[in-house]
Amino acid sequence: MKTITLGKSSLPSSRLAYGCWRIAETEDAGRTTGRAAILAAIEAGYTLFDHADIYGKSRAEAAFGAVLRETPALRQQMLIATKCGIRFAGEPTPDAPFRYDFSAEHIIRACEGSLRRLAVETIDLYQLHRPDWLMDPHEVVAAFEQLRRQGKVREFGVSNFQPSQVALLQKACPFPLVVNQVEVSLAHLDCFQDGTLDQCQAEQITPLAWSPLAGGKLAEGARRLLPWQENYRVDAIVTELDAQAQSFGVARGTLALAWLLKHPAGIVPIVGSTQPEKIRAATQADQLHLSREQWYRLLEAARGERLP
Protein backbone atom coordinates (compact mmCIF):
# COMPACT_ATOMS: atom_id res chain seq x y z
CA MET A 1 0.00 0.00 0.00
CA LYS A 2 1.18 3.54 -0.72
CA THR A 3 1.98 5.85 2.18
CA ILE A 4 1.23 9.45 3.10
CA THR A 5 2.81 11.71 5.70
CA LEU A 6 0.30 12.86 8.31
CA GLY A 7 0.04 16.64 8.24
CA LYS A 8 3.27 18.48 8.99
CA SER A 9 4.58 15.61 11.12
CA SER A 10 7.14 12.96 10.26
CA LEU A 11 4.61 10.15 10.70
CA PRO A 12 4.27 8.00 7.54
CA SER A 13 0.86 6.32 7.28
CA SER A 14 -0.65 3.79 4.93
CA ARG A 15 -3.20 5.37 2.56
CA LEU A 16 -5.94 3.44 4.34
CA ALA A 17 -6.19 3.27 8.13
CA TYR A 18 -7.71 0.43 10.11
CA GLY A 19 -10.46 1.44 12.52
CA CYS A 20 -10.69 -0.54 15.75
CA TRP A 21 -14.13 0.65 16.87
CA ARG A 22 -15.79 -2.77 16.49
CA ILE A 23 -12.98 -5.20 17.24
CA ALA A 24 -14.15 -5.85 20.79
CA GLU A 25 -17.90 -5.41 21.06
CA THR A 26 -17.60 -8.18 23.67
CA GLU A 27 -14.53 -9.45 25.50
CA ASP A 28 -14.74 -12.79 23.69
CA ALA A 29 -14.92 -11.01 20.32
CA GLY A 30 -11.82 -9.04 21.21
CA ARG A 31 -9.86 -12.23 21.80
CA THR A 32 -11.02 -13.93 18.60
CA THR A 33 -12.60 -11.75 15.90
CA GLY A 34 -10.68 -8.65 16.96
CA ARG A 35 -7.32 -10.39 17.05
CA ALA A 36 -7.89 -11.90 13.60
CA ALA A 37 -8.89 -8.50 12.20
CA ILE A 38 -5.81 -6.76 13.60
CA LEU A 39 -3.46 -9.40 12.20
CA ALA A 40 -5.22 -9.31 8.81
CA ALA A 41 -4.84 -5.55 8.66
CA ILE A 42 -1.13 -5.73 9.45
CA GLU A 43 -0.59 -8.42 6.81
CA ALA A 44 -2.53 -6.35 4.25
CA GLY A 45 -0.24 -3.33 4.76
CA TYR A 46 -2.25 -1.06 7.07
CA THR A 47 0.05 0.85 9.40
CA LEU A 48 -2.29 3.42 11.01
CA PHE A 49 -4.63 1.96 13.64
CA ASP A 50 -7.45 4.17 14.86
CA HIS A 51 -8.76 3.93 18.42
CA ALA A 52 -10.67 5.93 21.01
CA ASP A 53 -10.83 5.37 24.74
CA ILE A 54 -14.61 4.83 24.49
CA TYR A 55 -14.61 2.19 21.73
CA GLY A 56 -16.22 -0.89 23.19
CA LYS A 57 -16.11 0.90 26.54
CA SER A 58 -12.30 0.63 26.41
CA ARG A 59 -12.36 -3.04 25.35
CA ALA A 60 -10.99 -2.19 21.89
CA GLU A 61 -7.81 -0.67 23.28
CA ALA A 62 -7.44 -3.57 25.70
CA ALA A 63 -7.88 -6.16 22.94
CA PHE A 64 -5.28 -4.38 20.82
CA GLY A 65 -2.92 -4.23 23.77
CA ALA A 66 -3.32 -7.97 24.29
CA VAL A 67 -2.10 -8.59 20.73
CA LEU A 68 0.93 -6.36 21.33
CA ARG A 69 1.75 -8.10 24.60
CA GLU A 70 1.62 -11.40 22.77
CA THR A 71 3.80 -10.16 19.85
CA PRO A 72 5.65 -6.98 20.88
CA ALA A 73 7.55 -6.76 17.58
CA LEU A 74 4.33 -5.76 15.81
CA ARG A 75 4.63 -2.32 17.41
CA GLN A 76 7.38 -1.46 14.94
CA GLN A 77 4.96 -1.91 12.01
CA MET A 78 2.26 0.48 13.16
CA LEU A 79 1.19 3.98 14.09
CA ILE A 80 -1.23 3.99 16.98
CA ALA A 81 -3.83 6.75 17.16
CA THR A 82 -6.40 7.17 19.88
CA LYS A 83 -8.82 9.82 21.10
CA CYS A 84 -10.19 11.27 24.32
CA GLY A 85 -12.79 13.75 25.48
CA ILE A 86 -16.13 11.90 25.47
CA ARG A 87 -17.48 11.11 28.93
CA PHE A 88 -20.51 8.93 29.47
CA ALA A 89 -23.45 9.72 31.71
CA GLY A 90 -23.03 8.51 35.27
CA GLU A 91 -19.27 9.04 35.55
CA PRO A 92 -17.80 9.85 37.95
CA THR A 93 -21.08 10.43 39.83
CA PRO A 94 -24.54 8.99 39.10
CA ASP A 95 -26.00 12.41 38.20
CA ALA A 96 -23.26 13.37 35.71
CA PRO A 97 -24.61 13.95 32.15
CA PHE A 98 -23.18 12.70 28.87
CA ARG A 99 -20.65 15.37 27.93
CA TYR A 100 -17.31 16.33 26.39
CA ASP A 101 -14.34 17.15 28.60
CA PHE A 102 -11.16 18.89 27.43
CA SER A 103 -9.94 19.81 30.90
CA ALA A 104 -6.22 19.24 31.28
CA GLU A 105 -6.87 16.82 34.12
CA HIS A 106 -9.12 14.63 31.98
CA ILE A 107 -6.89 14.71 28.89
CA ILE A 108 -3.86 13.57 30.89
CA ARG A 109 -5.75 10.94 32.88
CA ALA A 110 -7.41 9.57 29.73
CA CYS A 111 -4.07 9.39 27.91
CA GLU A 112 -2.47 7.44 30.73
CA GLY A 113 -5.40 5.01 30.71
CA SER A 114 -5.04 4.46 26.96
CA LEU A 115 -1.30 3.86 27.30
CA ARG A 116 -1.95 1.12 29.86
CA ARG A 117 -4.65 -0.58 27.82
CA LEU A 118 -2.72 -0.37 24.55
CA ALA A 119 0.44 -1.70 26.21
CA VAL A 120 2.65 1.00 24.72
CA GLU A 121 4.89 3.70 26.14
CA THR A 122 4.02 6.30 23.51
CA ILE A 123 0.89 7.09 21.49
CA ASP A 124 1.84 8.23 18.00
CA LEU A 125 -1.22 10.40 17.42
CA TYR A 126 -3.54 11.68 20.16
CA GLN A 127 -6.79 13.41 19.22
CA LEU A 128 -9.61 15.31 20.86
CA HIS A 129 -12.71 13.31 20.00
CA ARG A 130 -15.60 15.81 19.75
CA PRO A 131 -15.56 19.57 20.39
CA ASP A 132 -16.01 20.56 24.02
CA TRP A 133 -18.17 23.70 24.23
CA LEU A 134 -16.14 24.70 27.29
CA MET A 135 -12.77 24.24 25.58
CA ASP A 136 -10.06 26.57 26.84
CA PRO A 137 -7.39 26.21 24.12
CA HIS A 138 -4.59 27.26 26.45
CA GLU A 139 -5.56 24.60 28.99
CA VAL A 140 -5.66 21.98 26.22
CA VAL A 141 -2.24 23.03 24.95
CA ALA A 142 -0.80 22.84 28.48
CA ALA A 143 -1.94 19.21 28.65
CA PHE A 144 -0.56 18.50 25.18
CA GLU A 145 2.80 20.00 26.08
CA GLN A 146 3.03 17.94 29.27
CA LEU A 147 2.23 14.70 27.44
CA ARG A 148 4.76 15.49 24.71
CA ARG A 149 7.44 16.49 27.23
CA GLN A 150 6.91 13.23 29.13
CA GLY A 151 7.27 11.20 25.91
CA LYS A 152 3.72 9.87 26.12
CA VAL A 153 2.50 11.37 22.82
CA ARG A 154 4.32 12.17 19.58
CA GLU A 155 1.74 14.22 17.64
CA PHE A 156 -1.72 15.70 18.22
CA GLY A 157 -4.88 16.20 16.21
CA VAL A 158 -8.61 16.62 16.48
CA SER A 159 -11.78 14.86 15.40
CA ASN A 160 -15.16 16.21 14.29
CA PHE A 161 -13.93 19.82 14.53
CA GLN A 162 -15.30 22.63 12.39
CA PRO A 163 -12.68 24.81 10.67
CA SER A 164 -13.20 27.66 13.16
CA GLN A 165 -12.60 25.27 16.07
CA VAL A 166 -9.42 23.97 14.49
CA ALA A 167 -8.22 27.55 13.94
CA LEU A 168 -8.98 28.49 17.56
CA LEU A 169 -6.97 25.61 18.98
CA GLN A 170 -4.15 25.96 16.45
CA LYS A 171 -3.70 29.64 17.31
CA ALA A 172 -2.87 28.66 20.90
CA CYS A 173 -0.79 25.60 19.98
CA PRO A 174 2.93 26.09 19.24
CA PHE A 175 3.14 22.91 17.14
CA PRO A 176 0.90 21.90 14.22
CA LEU A 177 -2.26 19.84 14.63
CA VAL A 178 -1.68 17.09 12.09
CA VAL A 179 -5.15 15.57 11.47
CA ASN A 180 -8.86 16.28 11.63
CA GLN A 181 -10.90 13.08 11.70
CA VAL A 182 -14.35 13.68 10.24
CA GLU A 183 -17.25 11.79 8.72
CA VAL A 184 -16.95 11.95 4.96
CA SER A 185 -18.27 9.68 2.22
CA LEU A 186 -20.32 9.82 -0.96
CA ALA A 187 -23.36 9.77 1.33
CA HIS A 188 -22.09 12.58 3.57
CA LEU A 189 -20.55 15.49 1.68
CA ASP A 190 -20.53 18.20 4.37
CA CYS A 191 -16.73 18.41 4.51
CA PHE A 192 -16.58 19.33 0.85
CA GLN A 193 -18.83 22.32 1.46
CA ASP A 194 -18.17 23.62 4.99
CA GLY A 195 -14.52 24.53 4.51
CA THR A 196 -13.06 21.49 6.28
CA LEU A 197 -11.20 20.05 3.29
CA ASP A 198 -10.19 23.54 2.13
CA GLN A 199 -8.61 24.20 5.52
CA CYS A 200 -6.90 20.80 5.48
CA GLN A 201 -5.26 21.62 2.16
CA ALA A 202 -4.35 25.18 3.12
CA GLU A 203 -2.86 24.24 6.51
CA GLN A 204 -1.47 20.82 5.55
CA ILE A 205 -3.74 18.94 7.94
CA THR A 206 -4.54 15.35 6.95
CA PRO A 207 -8.27 14.53 6.92
CA LEU A 208 -9.03 11.08 8.33
CA ALA A 209 -12.38 9.83 7.04
CA TRP A 210 -14.51 7.88 9.47
CA SER A 211 -17.46 5.90 8.12
CA PRO A 212 -16.18 6.27 4.53
CA LEU A 213 -18.74 3.69 3.39
CA ALA A 214 -21.64 5.30 5.26
CA GLY A 215 -21.83 2.52 7.82
CA GLY A 216 -21.79 -0.09 5.04
CA LYS A 217 -24.59 1.42 2.95
CA LEU A 218 -22.12 2.02 0.12
CA ALA A 219 -20.76 -1.52 0.34
CA GLU A 220 -22.52 -4.83 0.91
CA GLY A 221 -24.98 -3.39 3.39
CA ALA A 222 -25.15 -1.74 6.77
CA ARG A 223 -24.72 -3.82 9.91
CA ARG A 224 -25.04 -1.07 12.48
CA LEU A 225 -25.78 2.56 11.65
CA LEU A 226 -25.52 5.70 13.70
CA PRO A 227 -28.95 7.34 14.11
CA TRP A 228 -28.50 10.05 11.48
CA GLN A 229 -27.12 7.56 8.95
CA GLU A 230 -30.49 5.83 8.83
CA ASN A 231 -31.69 8.71 6.64
CA TYR A 232 -28.89 8.52 4.06
CA ARG A 233 -30.35 7.94 0.59
CA VAL A 234 -27.84 5.93 -1.40
CA ASP A 235 -29.78 4.18 -4.18
CA ALA A 236 -28.50 6.45 -6.96
CA ILE A 237 -24.97 6.32 -5.56
CA VAL A 238 -24.98 2.53 -5.39
CA THR A 239 -26.28 2.30 -8.97
CA GLU A 240 -23.41 4.45 -10.26
CA LEU A 241 -20.88 2.67 -8.03
CA ASP A 242 -21.99 -0.70 -9.38
CA ALA A 243 -21.70 0.46 -12.99
CA GLN A 244 -18.18 1.81 -12.50
CA ALA A 245 -17.02 -0.96 -10.16
CA GLN A 246 -17.87 -3.54 -12.82
CA SER A 247 -15.55 -1.83 -15.29
CA PHE A 248 -12.76 -1.78 -12.69
CA GLY A 249 -13.42 -5.35 -11.56
CA VAL A 250 -13.75 -4.43 -7.89
CA ALA A 251 -16.46 -4.30 -5.24
CA ARG A 252 -18.51 -1.11 -4.99
CA GLY A 253 -17.12 -0.36 -1.53
CA THR A 254 -13.58 -0.45 -2.85
CA LEU A 255 -14.50 2.10 -5.52
CA ALA A 256 -16.16 4.34 -2.90
CA LEU A 257 -12.86 4.38 -1.00
CA ALA A 258 -10.93 5.17 -4.18
CA TRP A 259 -13.26 8.12 -4.78
CA LEU A 260 -12.09 9.61 -1.46
CA LEU A 261 -8.43 8.83 -2.15
CA LYS A 262 -8.49 10.91 -5.33
CA HIS A 263 -9.17 14.17 -3.50
CA PRO A 264 -6.04 16.38 -3.28
CA ALA A 265 -6.48 16.96 0.47
CA GLY A 266 -4.99 13.48 0.99
CA ILE A 267 -8.00 11.89 2.69
CA VAL A 268 -7.15 8.72 4.63
CA PRO A 269 -10.26 6.51 4.80
CA ILE A 270 -10.64 4.43 7.96
CA VAL A 271 -11.72 0.87 7.16
CA GLY A 272 -13.78 -0.64 9.97
CA SER A 273 -14.75 -4.15 8.86
CA THR A 274 -13.72 -6.99 11.15
CA GLN A 275 -13.83 -9.52 8.30
CA PRO A 276 -10.29 -10.30 7.06
CA GLU A 277 -11.37 -10.74 3.44
CA LYS A 278 -12.98 -7.28 3.38
CA ILE A 279 -9.99 -5.73 5.15
CA ARG A 280 -7.76 -7.13 2.40
CA ALA A 281 -10.13 -6.25 -0.46
CA ALA A 282 -10.29 -2.60 0.60
CA THR A 283 -6.58 -2.19 -0.17
CA GLN A 284 -7.36 -2.46 -3.89
CA ALA A 285 -8.69 1.12 -3.64
CA ASP A 286 -5.10 2.30 -3.47
CA GLN A 287 -4.52 0.93 -6.99
CA LEU A 288 -7.55 2.49 -8.72
CA HIS A 289 -7.26 5.65 -10.78
CA LEU A 290 -10.58 7.38 -11.42
CA SER A 291 -10.77 9.91 -14.21
CA ARG A 292 -12.23 13.32 -13.41
CA GLU A 293 -15.31 12.30 -15.39
CA GLN A 294 -15.78 9.13 -13.33
CA TRP A 295 -15.26 11.06 -10.10
CA TYR A 296 -17.80 13.73 -11.03
CA ARG A 297 -20.40 11.18 -12.14
CA LEU A 298 -20.28 9.76 -8.64
CA LEU A 299 -20.47 13.24 -7.13
CA GLU A 300 -23.54 14.01 -9.23
CA ALA A 301 -25.18 10.77 -8.06
CA ALA A 302 -24.35 11.69 -4.46
CA ARG A 303 -25.81 15.20 -4.82
CA GLY A 304 -28.93 13.94 -6.55
CA GLU A 305 -28.63 16.71 -9.12
CA ARG A 306 -26.17 18.15 -11.58
CA LEU A 307 -23.76 20.83 -10.44
CA PRO A 308 -25.05 24.40 -10.81
Q: Residue 220: what pLDDT?
A: 83
Q: Model's pTM, two decimal places?
A: 0.96
Low pLDDT (below 70) residues in the chain: 222
DSSP H helices, the chain, are 27-29, 35-44, 59-70, 104-118, 137-149, 163-172, 190-193, 196-203, 235-248, 252-261, 276-282, 292-303
Instruction: Report which secondary-structure segment, H or E, holds 125.
Output: strand 123-128
Indicate which residue of 18, 46, 55, 100 is catalytic.
55
Q: Residue 274: what pLDDT?
A: 94
Domain spans of the chain?
3-303
- Nearest 5°: CA angle at 270, between 266 and 273? 150
Q: Which CATH number applies to 3-303: 2.40.400.10, 3.30.420.110, 3.40.50.720, 3.20.20.100?
A: 3.20.20.100
CA distance linking residue 206 with residue 229, whole number of Å: 24
Phi and psi torsions of 156, nearest 5°: -130, 155
In a 13 Å sphere around the CA of 169, the CA atoms on its Cβ side amount to 29
Are 110 and 84 a contacting pair, CB within 8 Å? yes
Q: Residue 78: what pLDDT?
A: 97
- Asked if 100 is an active-site residue, the reply is no
